[in-house]
Structure 1
């Protein structure tokens, strides 16, 4: 018995690994050029996304994870508040978002590799499809080895592919600034320069883009039962990740905006082209292929981390009978292998299927808009669950509580919910660069897709008695 307990402790993940896993879920350098293009207004956008969305969601995640430390994750939280049905729905929505949201990461890896090997490959759909399949299935099979192994990839991916490139960009941005080079953006601290025109559609769409940058902070809670001292370590990990995410995103994007002229950012064909201009200012163009490889490693770490996170919440609901028993199989590492195989199959179909679309950009944006909306819906369920459990489980032990008593929990909940409602509505709108000719058809397809994605888990849950009686 003692040996078994010691073995269990030995195989639990440390605070450092939890921070790396959580960071890999949330932080990326992919968004630096897009955010840099907004100039000083990125401060407004980042603060809006942080105060209205990221911080409320992080605080709620920390409280819920310490309330239910042995059964962490969105399924356990929402189930405790609203029952099995909504617990399953929340985990299903998180899982669906992951399967759609993985596709941009896969395309990014393909684009980065193409940049190093042969830039023309970035426009080759067979090459893109090959990378989608190779990375998806490699990440899936690797995750069969368990959370410890997955945590190593998350750690190396974040350190090599996010932290090192991010710090390098910030460092060179500071050097460029202090050595008296011409600043490529207007840095005046006037209201006009910092606060964007909120009456413009493009501005509102950008706000949602910044919100999406900070999604995923709650996913690592699905591993709470494999964390050493989750009551202490999970809130601490969340705090570190929030600070890291805000610092890297704002400082990294500012560095790019200071060095690269705005016109060249907007014309840049993605991250690598923007970095080519950035490091060209220092006569260090040779660094760009190195960064391409590093950021591809970072995206690989991100994919590997996302592969195992949401599926564990769905697996927890499957064990209660929400899915057929076929999906309950796990290997000796406790990994739901059949669900992972289903997940990899769906990601492969979406990733390769979108490449066959005649208007790839429009189809890609619509898929992401749908995923974003259902994820916002899940976040609303999570916030409401936290609020409800304050009333239904007032005396339950919480190693961390949102400060401020009842006023604090209500303020955080209302701010978070209001921001999510705003994001949900705005996510329907196409960005100007898509040049959508039939807005009615676009909205009809998008609304129909979101409605379908929201209804599917309710239908599956309603059918659970069919397989429970077999």
Structure 2
């Protein structure tokens, strides 16, 4: 999906600044601001530096796969593509669950005959996620080049307007959240992982900008990072001010906060829920559609075939709401996605270290390695109340990552026989290259 700089900014605002992740940071009170700062220093800066290095030193390539494969080898490039593909499926399902919850809450408060527990019904959530996957499959089957920008604007409205409601409501109906809230045992690790995960992906999205010059890349990163950090901080603190920390539901905390922020007005609350639902549905599309082109190119399949396969897997993931509590399913999928994001960053960092000369920039890459390793470990521990122990959850997540590695190894090589590139140092000429140069020279001279 090739978009310009402002399209990349909209993509980040709508996809990364998701109302689904605000409650995780809010559960930590004002101390979430520390994690926001850690996300900037430990995730955005190292990852942006590494991806820009790959982009700048490999001007002839136009995809993240090509850049990573050129610097770190074929397997590393394939892992990045497969990881992005699976990550899109795993994270889009919690976003669609949030959409389903928001719509159910809106129907309940519009006076329709809907029961109070309808929003958390397993049958409703599973059916809603599958139905949305079918709808998004139909969207993806169309040409999205012209309509993607409008979808991003629609998604941005679904994020920004409810966010304004939360901010205004926190001032009029909220109280200052504590720095160290009580009753957070078992929530600290996944909440911190979710906050860190929220900053992961800015640098990858900026790689898709049409203008791949360093100035355009830096502009996309800078604007996206600033807006993301500000919106995350405001959204998380607003929810923490509106809902007592011990009562925040990780999968629907934004809905809880909107109910308080609207001051008991059913119409205003329902309108915000509808906006949030439409925004969530529109922002799920870039998550699903973004990696499709790279995966189709890598697997040698038609894009429409990969779209059907991907969304069929996504619909299957939505069925887990039938057999697990909604909050448990939310955290299972979010933790898997967070771990894959950190694993993707580790591969990017490793490719840079393999493919570049040693210099002072290595310090920034090493910081990113430490931070992503910590994020990976944090994502392996589930919160209390999800119905699964750490001893069972960690092998589950590691098993998914192992399957991603196996898929990356099994997918046919696009660049067979490629060797890592030392960034900044030309590749040695091979015999075929010399022959091509000779033939080209003969052709220009009329021989």
Residue aligning to 1:213:
198
What's the CA shift for 1:277?
1.6
1 CA distance for matches of 2:253 and 2:183?
A: 25
Q: Give matches, 1:322-333, under 5 Å.
A: 323=299, 325=300, 327=301, 329=302
Q: Contact conserved, 2:95 with 2:284, CA < 8 A, in 1?
A: yes
2 CA distance for matches of 1:381 and 1:20?
A: 26
What's the CA shift for 1:97?
1.2
Q: Contact conserved, 1:161 with 1:297, CA < 8 A, in 2?
A: yes
Q: 2:45 aligns with which of 43, 55, 61?
A: 55
What's the CA shift for 1:230?
4.8
Q: 1:430 aligns with which of 361, 377, 382?
A: 382
1 CA distance for matches of 2:182 and 2:51?
A: 30
What's the CA shift for 1:416?
0.7
Residue aligning to 2:429:
none
Q: Contact conserved, 1:54 with 1:215, CA < 8 A, in 2?
A: yes
Structure 2 residue runs without a partner (length 5+) = 108-113, 417-447
| Greater per-residue helix proportion | 1
Q: Contact conserved, 2:335 with 2:380, CA < 8 A, in 1?
A: yes
Write the deviation string for residues 249-303 of structure 1: whole angstroms up to 9, x where unpaired.
10222233334444454699532122112222xx545321111111112211211
Residue aligning to 2:438:
none
2 CA distance for matches of 1:264 and 1:415?
A: 35
Q: 1:24 aligns with which of 4, 9, 14?
A: 14
Structure 1 residue runs without a partner (length 5+) = 1-10, 187-192, 330-335, 392-404, 466-470
Secondary structure in 2 aligned to 1:433? coil
- Corresponding residue pairs, total: 408
RMSD: 3.2
Bigger shift: residues 248-257 or 368-377: 368-377
Secondary structure in 1 aligned to 2:147? helix
Write the deviation string for residues 216-273 of structure 1: whole angstroms up to 9, x where unpaired.
224424633xx24654333211211100010011022223333444445469953212
1 CA distance for matches of 2:159 and 2:258?
A: 14
Residue aligning to 1:302:
283
What's the CA shift for 1:157?
0.9
Q: Give matches, 1:113-192, under 5 Å.
A: 113-117=103-107, 118=114, 119-143=116-140, 144-158=142-156, 160-174=157-171, 176=172, 183-186=175-178
Q: 1:291 aligns with which of 272, 276, 279?
A: 272
What's the CA shift for 1:348?
1.2
Residue aligning to 1:344:
311
What's the CA shift for 1:96?
1.0
Q: 1:90 aligns with which of 80, 98, 105?
A: 80
2 CA distance for matches of 1:410 and 1:270?
A: 39
Residue aligning to 1:394:
none
2 CA distance for matches of 1:390 and 1:194?
A: 43
CA gap 1:62/1:170 in 2 versus in 1, 3 angstroms: farther
